[in-house]
Amino acid sequence: MCEHMSVAENIFMGRMPTNKFGMVNKNLLIKKSDEILKLFKEPSRPKPNKIIGELSISQKQIVEIARAISLNCKIIILDEPTSSLTESETEILFEIIENLKNNNISVIYISHRLSEIFKLCEKITIMKDGEVIDTLEAEDTNEKEVVNKMVGRDIKNFFPEKANIEDNGRNVILRVENLSRDGYFKDVNFALYDGEILGFSGLTGSGRSEVARAICGIDRKNSGNIFINNNKVAINSYSKSMKYGLVYLTENRKEDGLFLGLDIKRNLTVSGLEKISNKRLLLWVNSRKEIASSKKMVKDLDIRLSSINQKINSLSGGNQQKVIVARWLFVDPKIIILDEPTKGIDVKTKAEIYSLIRQLADNGIGTIIISSELPEIIGLCDRIIVMHEGEIAGILKDKEQSEAKIVALASGIKEK
Site for another protein, rule CB under 8 A: 129-130, 218, 237-239, 242, 248, 250, 255-262, 266, 270-271, 273-274, 276-277, 282-285, 287, 304-306, 310-311, 313-316, 327
Which of 151, 408 has the CB closer to another protein?
Answer: 151
**Beta carbon of residue 312, minimum distance to another protein (angstroms, whole number):** 10
Q: What is the dihedral of CA 236, 237, 241, 247, to 10 degrees?
A: 130
Which of 26, 311 has the CB closer to another protein?
Answer: 311
Which of 5, 273 has the CB closer to another protein?
Answer: 273
**Beta carbon of residue 316, minimum distance to another protein (angstroms, whole number):** 6
**Beta carbon of residue 285, minimum distance to another protein (angstroms, whole number):** 5
Contact 170, 364 (CB under 8 A): no
**Beta carbon of residue 239, minimum distance to another protein (angstroms, whole number):** 5
Which of 125, 239 has the CB closer to another protein?
Answer: 239
Contact 290, 231 (CB under 8 A): no
CA distance 58 to 42: 13
Which of 250, 401 has the CB closer to another protein?
Answer: 250
**Beta carbon of residue 276, minimum distance to another protein (angstroms, whole number):** 7
**Beta carbon of residue 310, minimum distance to another protein (angstroms, whole number):** 7
Which of 115, 287 has the CB closer to another protein?
Answer: 287
Which of 186, 265 has the CB closer to another protein?
Answer: 265
Q: Which residues contact 20 (CB under 8 A, 6 or more apart)?
A: none
**Beta carbon of residue 152, minimum distance to another protein (angstroms, whole number):** 16
